Amino acid sequence: MQLPKTIADKIAALLDATNIDQLRTASKQLTENYHTSHRGVRTPDQHLAYVAARMPATYAVCRAVLDKIGHQEIKSLLDLGAGPGTASLAAKDVFLQLDKLTLVDKDQQFRSIALELLPSIQYALDDLTHFVSEARHDLVLCSYVLNELNDAAATKLVMNAWQATQQFLVLIEPGTPAGYTVLKNVRQQLMDEGAYVVAPCTHHQACPLTGNDWCHFSAHVDRSSYHRLAKDAALSYEHEKYSYMIFSRQAVDRPLYRVIKRPMQRSGHVIFDLCGDSGVHRSTVSKKQKDRYSLARKISWGDGWDFEDD
C-alpha cells in the first residue's frame, strides 16, 4: 500500500526545500518522542518528518482498517486528531461518496499541510480534551491520537466521538501492548452505550487474549524515495503494526472468527490462530478439506474465517 500518487507528489513538493540531514534528524527525534514520554510532533522539521516518514504508514493502516467496513454509504466524516489529514485521505479513497470532511486538531502546522493535501475540507483548530461535536457524522475517526492523551482524556474523547457518530466509529492505535490496552479499555464502555463491535472482534465477549498476547495486525507499506531518505533506510518497504476497533450503531454481519496471527503455510496444510466467541484456538486446514483448503492458502493475518473445525 502506498499514498495516492497525487498526494505523494504534493508531499514531495512540500519537502523539496527541506535539508535532508535536518529531515533525518527530525525523523529520529520523532521516533525518540514516541518511545519516551515526550509524545507527539514538536518542531517544524518534525512535522515534515511525520509527513515523510510516518504518514505513509498511518495511511496504509487507515486504508486496511476502513476496508473492513466494506460497501457503506458514507457521506460525512469527523477526523479527530487529524494531523496532516491521513485518515481523511484514506477514507476519501475508500468511500467515494464522501463529500463532507470535518477535521479537528490543535496543531496549526498540520492544519496548513492538510489544507494543501485536501483542499475541500473544514479543519477546526481545537483541543480534543474539551471538544464536543454539535453535529453527527456518518463516520468518526480517531487515528493514532488516544495514546497522546491520558486515560481519562482518552475515555472522554471516545465517548464524545461516539455521541458524534451516525454510523461507524473507528479507533486506530499503534500495534503495541499499550495501543491495544487503550482500545480494550474503551471497548466495554462503548458496548455499554449500545455500540456493536464490527471488527476485529467477531463477538461481544470479553477479550480472551491474556498474558503477553495483544490483538494487533500488520500493514505492508511501500516506501517512496523521500520516505527512504527521511528514514535513511535501504529497504523499499516496511511493515506497520497496528491495533484497531470499529464500532457501529447498527448490528452488522461478522465472520465467525478473526485470524489473529500470521498464518503458517506448510506443505499440504495451513495453520492459523483464530479468535471467536468461544475464545482463541488454533486451526489446521489440510489439503484433504477440499471445501476450504484453497481459501486457507490465501488467508491473511486479520482476515475473517467462516468455517468451524471438523
Ligand X SMILES: C[S@@+](CC[C@H](N)C(=O)[O-])C[C@H]1O[C@@H](n2cnc3c(N)ncnc32)[C@H](O)[C@@H]1O
- Binding to ligand X (CB under 6 A) within 25-54 occurs at 40
Kindly tell me which of 112 and 294 has the beta carbon lying closer to ligand X. Answer: 112
**HEC-encoded secondary structure of the chain:** CCCCHHHHHHHHHHHCCCCHHHHHHHHHHHHHHHHCCCCCCCCHHHHHHHHHHHHHHHHHHHHHHHHCCCCCCCCEEEEECCCCCHHHHHHHHHCCCCCEEEEEECCHHHHHHHHHHCCCCEEEECCHHHCCCCCCEEEEEEECCHHHCCHHHHHHHHHHHHHCEEEEEEEEEECCHHHHHHHHHHHHHHHHCCCEEEECCCCCCCCCCCCCCCCCEEEEEECCHHHHHHHCCCCCEEEEEEEEEEEECCCCCCCCEEECCCCEEECCEEEEEEEECCEEEEEEEECCCCCCHHHHHHCCCCCEECCCCC
Is 174 near ligand X (CB under 6 A)? no
Among 7, 60, 82, 201, binds ligand X (CB under 6 A): 82
CB of 224 to ligand X, least distance (A): 16
Kindly tell me which of 171 and 197 has the beta carbon lying closer to ligand X. Answer: 171
CB of 58 to ligand X, least distance (A): 4
Kindly tell me which of 174 and 263 has the beta carbon lying closer to ligand X. Answer: 174
CB of 81 to ligand X, least distance (A): 3
Kindly tell me which of 106 and 136 has the beta carbon lying closer to ligand X. Answer: 106
CB of 208 to ligand X, least distance (A): 28
Site string for ligand X, 291-310 (x = CB under 6 A): --------------------
Among 93, 148, 213, 303, binds ligand X (CB under 6 A): 148
Among 60, 98, 145, 161, binds ligand X (CB under 6 A): 145
Among 9, 67, 127, 232, binds ligand X (CB under 6 A): 127
Among 27, 58, 109, 165, binds ligand X (CB under 6 A): 58
Q: Which residue is nearest to ligand X (CB)?
A: 83
Q: Which of 135, 131, 195 is nearest to 162 (CA)?
A: 195
The Cα-based distances of 99 to 64, 117, 137, 204, 283 in angstroms read 21, 15, 11, 32, 43
Site string for ligand X, 85-124 (x = CB under 6 A): -xx-----------------xxx--x--------------
Which residues would be at the binding site for ligand X (CB under 6 A)? 40, 55, 58, 81-83, 86-87, 105-107, 110, 127-129, 143-145, 148-149
